[in-house]
Amino acid sequence: QVQLVESGGRSVLAGDSLRLSCTVSGRTFSTSVLGWFRRSPGNEREFITAISRGDGGSRIYVDSVKDRFTISRNNANNTMYLQMTNLKPEDTAVYYCAATRKTSLATRNQDYDYWGQGTQVTVSS
């Protein structure tokens, strides 16, 4: 059984930085394409970023977080990270990590097979 567990979400002030973690079990971590999504109040869950299998050499970001958020992975401890800087109130959302059986980077909700339970990030101005 594949399990993804997010952690690190909390309330911060605008301009602050925060790092989210996602630990994956039950699946060979290094062979999985991984992604982060978020859902803000009243909106659908949206794609933020994804990282390729293996050494994570390929990454893709949605424009709204490019240059502020960085996705990374550590295959030694089966953990993926989302480093967020210069946070804005509009970044307030529940953040989800996800894994897919696809072998290439994926950006759609339906591309992902496994999901975490989500972690809340609240950014106050």
Q: Which residues pair with 83 in a beta bridge?
A: 19, 70
User: With 80 as the cut, is the pLDDT of residue 27 above it?
Assistant: no
User: With 90 as the cut, is the pLDDT of residue 28 above it?
Assistant: no
b/e burial code for range 30-39 (CB count within 10 A of at least 16 → b)? eebbbbbbbe
What is the rounded CA–CA span in Å between residue 49 and residue 81?
11
What is the rounded CA–CA span in Å between residue 64 and residue 58?
19
User: With 80 as the cut, is the pLDDT of residue 16 above it?
Assistant: yes
Tens of pLDDT, residue by residue over 81-104, are 999 999 999 999 999 999 999 999
Q: For position 1, what pLDDT does the model report?
A: 80
